[in-house]
Amino acid sequence: MVHPEGTKSPPGLVEHRPGAPARIVVLVSGSGTNLQALIDAENAEKAQHTDEAQHAGKAQQAAKAEPAGSPAFGATIVAVGADRTGIQGLDRAEQAGIPTFALRVKDFATREDWDRALRDKVAEYEPDLVVSAGFMKLLGPDFLAAFDGRVINTHPALSPSFPGMHGPADALAYGVKVTGCTVFFVAGGVDDGPVVAQAAVPVEDGDDEASLHERIKTAERALLVDVVGRLARHGWTIDNRKVTFQ
């Protein structure tokens, strides 16, 4: 296969090193809380750069190392897409000055036509990475072929446990003491792609689905921002199921 950089990789191996900053397209279907976390991370980096520019005359500021645990984000959101109109996720993007688009499945003759239209629209923005952030549609083979090894998603459980839409409820029903969240590269199945990173969330006595899911979502937002930043700054390799930062 030939990657955007023009280099060939053997079967089962994907390598990608984004430009600086990495170009991100985010796909949403609802309130866009994960999107907001990414917007906030990008804005925090811009604010940091503005502050540094104001102190550019100070040699010690110019030489100052990046604070541990708070690296520059390294990514810019170039577009936000949705599968429906009138959602808060699109409002968040528009308020941040980010281009938006919406492609509804019902406006296309077939699901395959919608998938190809989504592929073509996302491709217009030349993304290094596509982030499915609460996007409630499965991406089809045409879309995934176009962005092979460059689409990530989140799941509210520690994959491969509890796939599907009811991860927190399934974890409670099974009686596990620890669950969590996963960021993974989309591979065409249901929450079964190569794992990029995971965060554990303890199950507390008295938890119900809502309380457990809320704590998982908090961990998920932090994990997603960290993962997107690391992928943007360092690039990545996927060797079959093993994901490493370059």
Q: In angstroms, what CA-CA distances link 218 with 79, 82, 105, 149?
A: 24, 22, 30, 26
Which pLDDT value is given to residue 12?
A: 65
Q: What residue numbers bound the domain in which 137 lies?
A: 18-49+71-245
pLDDT per residue as tens digits for the range 130-153: 999 999 999 999 999 999 999 999
pLDDT per residue as tens digits for the range 212-237: 999 999 999 999 999 999 999 999 99
Domain assignment of residue 225, yes or no: yes
The count of structural domains within the chain is 1
Angle at 214 between CA 105 and CA 45, to 5 degrees: 80
Which pLDDT value is given to residue 188?
A: 82
**Spans of the chain below 70 pLDDT:** 1-12, 48-71
Active-site annotation holds for 155: yes
Domain assignment of residue 54, yes or no: no
Which pLDDT value is given to residue 2?
A: 31
Domain assignment of residue 201, yes or no: yes
Residue whose C-alpha is closest to residue 153's, from 122, 119, 180, 185: 185
Give this prediction's pTM. 0.86
Domain assignment of residue 66, yes or no: no
The answer to whether the bond into 160 is cis (omega within 30° of 0) is yes
Domain assignment of residue 152, yes or no: yes
Tell me the CATH number at 35.
3.40.50.170
Catalytic residue among 3, 49, 155, 213: 155
Domain assignment of residue 155, yes or no: yes
Which pLDDT value is given to residue 9?
A: 43
Domain assignment of residue 9, yes or no: no
Q: How many residues does the chain have?
A: 246
Domain assignment of residue 178, yes or no: yes
DSSP 171: H
Burial of 242 (0-12, 13-18, 19+ CB in 10 A): exposed
- Judged by DSSP in three states, 87 sits in coil
Gap between the Cα atoms of 28 and 79, Å rounded: 11
